[in-house]
Structure 1
Amino acid sequence: MLTFAQAVTERTLRLNTRLCVGLDPRRDAYRDAAHLKSHTLEVLEACAPYAACVKPQLAFYEALGLEGFGILEEICAAARTLGLPVLLDAKRGDIGSTAQAYARAWLTGQHAGAALTVNPFLGFETLTPFVDTARENGGAVFVLVKTSNPGQADLQGSGVSERVAVEINRLNAATPEGEYGAVGAVVGATHAGDLATFRALMPRALLLLPGLGAQGGAASDLKGAFHADGTGAIASASRGVQYADGLSVASSVEAARGFRDGLNNALNQA
């Protein structure tokens, strides 16, 4: 069975796509929860051919209460049926047994993803339960390094992001050359000028590049995140796909195809 990193890389090369489709269903866009679920599943199925993986944002499912967790489980099951690796965006982070519980909750089970975003800013030792659980289950964690929001500089500047990158590289040190480890990194697509630096600091880490589209990240600026063979990174678009034009699934497909093509064109730039 392929690990998360292997599955993403295989799909990237086979389908020639570097797009991660985010599924962030907003309750106020729908008549009711059933409408939210059906539309989200339709977008998932229709956009799957253009996606290297899918990224549900846990907050939007939590906001629906227990019903939302049921919907999330159905989304994860549908993605697995479609052959799409599931990266759950939850940005979890805590200490000791609480971190272990979060790791079990969101890296194992039918409701969980094969990969999870995690927050390192409580200290690097807090990553251990997440990394260990991911490795045991063939999954991955994506550690926040330099996020896409403008306020990230409050805590992630002055060399802090680079220090986190060095730690990620250490955690992946045993990964064979030419492969990607279980510890990936979140580097915003809005930081195009920094991507080549982080690529060099973390040669064995998959990079998740959030912020494509609605947050201002442009596919044409992201070449620096990739290795020469076109692997090593996935760029995430959520609102720009799911709500490309209201609830039009056809527009979602067109947007996903456009992001895929834009990323591929960027890689072909001199």
Structure 2
Amino acid sequence: MTFAQAVTDRTRTHQTRLCVGLDPRLDAYRDAEHLRSHTLEVLEATAPFAACVKPQLAFYEALGLDGLRILEEVCAAARTLGVPVLLDAKRGDIGSTAQAYAQGWLTGRHAGAALTVNPFLGFETLTPFVEAARANGGAVFVLVKTSNPGQGDLQGGGISERVADEVTRLNAQEDGEYGSVGAVVGATHPGDLAAFRVRMPRALLLLPGLGAQGATAAQLAPAFAAGGTGALASASRGVQYAQGLSVPASVAAARSFRDELNSALN
């Protein structure tokens, strides 16, 4: 089963469109072992409410080798729980370097089934990532219109639409309900979601910005296809640190986001 199929199946069977972000910040913990145990506890406790989990690679890289070991454990635990893993790394480069990034983060023990990628060195740089994703039943999520306020510096003026059209072109090469090339479209741009849904009909949309960045579930309905599939709303700090390090609070937050997303589609 591909990443797109696994996420869509989980959306239907578990009635969830929530992507749980796992972004462990070392300054919240006594040490790396405390960070590890809490992150794994949050993952296990919130898994029933998650269509997928999204570790932000930067927080694991910041811990050096310990962080990569923890990331491997997080990925392995998620696979055991049956929750697809989407690594948020925003990788993008040329030639053999892109191939190495694709090999490193779309194959192997510490890799996810999917990876966020940056297209702004040119569309040819996407090729190694897309090929690796297809070969391994994974996916890539291309930055189209990100959630941060400064995105308009480079993503305005029709640039986001050009990237969206490339996503659609790549997915046209594949069969299935959704292709292996998804798109990152910030939940903080609710007015643009309907247009991007139409422009990329076979792309899974990753919608970062739910919760701590101010987006609400009620605004996101236009991002979903008929039947409530095709998009994942991501919440990270709003789940992992919903109330300090309280795991029950993380569970309550994940359940609430799931229910709010479901209500927005009814």
After TM superposition, is the score higher than 0.5?
A: yes
- In structure 2, the residue matched to 1:161 is 160
| 1:14-33 pair list within 5 angstroms | 14-33=13-32
- In structure 2, the residue matched to 1:260 is 258
- In structure 2, the residue matched to 1:205 is 203
Residue aligned with 1:54, SS:
strand
- In structure 2, the residue matched to 1:70 is 69
Counterpart-to-counterpart distance in 1, 2:148 and 2:185: 11
Shift of 1:71: 0.3
Per-residue CA shift, 1:166-204, capped at 9, x if unaligned? 000000003336x00000000000010000000000000
- In structure 1, the residue matched to 2:3 is 4
Question: Which 4+ stretches in 1 moved above 6 angstroms?
Answer: none
Counterpart-to-counterpart distance in 2, 1:110 and 1:11: 22
RMSD, matched Cα: 0.6
Letter of the 2:156 counterpart: G
- In structure 1, the residue matched to 2:114 is 115
- In structure 1, the residue matched to 2:249 is 251
Match of 1:182 among 174, 180, 200: 180
Counterpart-to-counterpart distance in 2, 1:217 and 1:91: 21
Shift of 1:40: 0.2
Counterpart-to-counterpart distance in 2, 1:256 and 1:118: 26
- In structure 1, the residue matched to 2:149 is 150
Shift of 1:7: 0.2
Any gaps of 5 or more consecutive residues in structure 2?
none
- In structure 1, the residue matched to 2:233 is 235
* TM-score normalised to structure 1 length: 0.98
Counterpart-to-counterpart distance in 2, 1:59 and 1:233: 24
Per-residue CA shift, 1:114-160, capped at 9, x if unaligned? 00000000000000000000000000000000000000000000110
Shift of 1:267: 0.5
Letter of the 2:233 counterpart: A
| 1:14-93 pair list within 5 angstroms | 14-93=13-92
Counterpart-to-counterpart distance in 2, 1:106 and 1:171: 20
Residue aligned with 1:122, SS:
coil
**8 Å CA contact 1:175, 1:204 repeated in 2:** no
**8 Å CA contact 1:208, 1:234 repeated in 2:** yes
Counterpart-to-counterpart distance in 2, 1:227 and 1:139: 21
Counterpart-to-counterpart distance in 2, 1:88 and 1:176: 24
Any gaps of 5 or more consecutive residues in structure 1?
none
Counterpart-to-counterpart distance in 1, 2:39 and 2:88: 16
| 1:216-235 pair list within 5 angstroms | 216-235=214-233
- Percent identical: 80
Per-residue CA shift, 1:203-262, capped at 9, x if unaligned? 000000001000011100000000111000000000000000000000000000000001
Per-residue CA shift, 1:45-99, capped at 9, x if unaligned? 0000000000000000000011000000000000000000000000000000000
| 1:131-146 pair list within 5 angstroms | 131-146=130-145
- In structure 1, the residue matched to 2:127 is 128
Letter of the 2:209 counterpart: G
* TM-score normalised to structure 2 length: 0.99
Counterpart-to-counterpart distance in 1, 2:174 and 2:197: 16
- In structure 2, the residue matched to 1:102 is 101
Aligned length: 266
Aligned: 1:196 with 2:189: no
